[in-house]
Amino acid sequence: LSQFDPISSVFELKMARGHKVLKLRAQAKKVTLKYETTAPTVGAVGKYYPADDIVQKKGPTPVRNAPKVRASIVPGTVLILLAGRFRGKRVVCLKKLDSGLLLVSGPYSINGVPLRRVNQKYVIATSTSVSLDGVDVSKISDAMFKREAAAEKDGEEALFAAGAAAKPTVTSPERKAAQTAVDAKLKANIDKVQLLGAYMAAKFTLSKSDKPHMMKF
Long-range contacts of the stretch 140-145 (C-beta < 8 A, 24+): 140/94, 140/95, 140/103, 140/115, 140/178, 141/97, 141/98, 142/97, 142/98, 142/99, 142/101, 142/117, 144/172, 144/174, 144/175, 144/178, 145/116, 145/117, 145/175
pTM of structure? 0.65
* Residues 6+ positions from 187 with CB-CB distance below 8 Å: 107, 109, 110, 197
Encoded amino acid at 190, one letter = I
Mean pLDDT of the chain: 82
Predicted confidence (pLDDT) at residue 180 exceeds the cutoff of 90: yes
Q: How confident is the model at residue 76 (pLDDT cuts 50, 70, 90)?
A: very high
The residue type found at 91 is V
**Can you name the residues that pair with 42 across neighbouring β-strands?**
none
Whether omega for the bond prior to residue 107 falls within 30 degrees of 0, making it cis, is yes
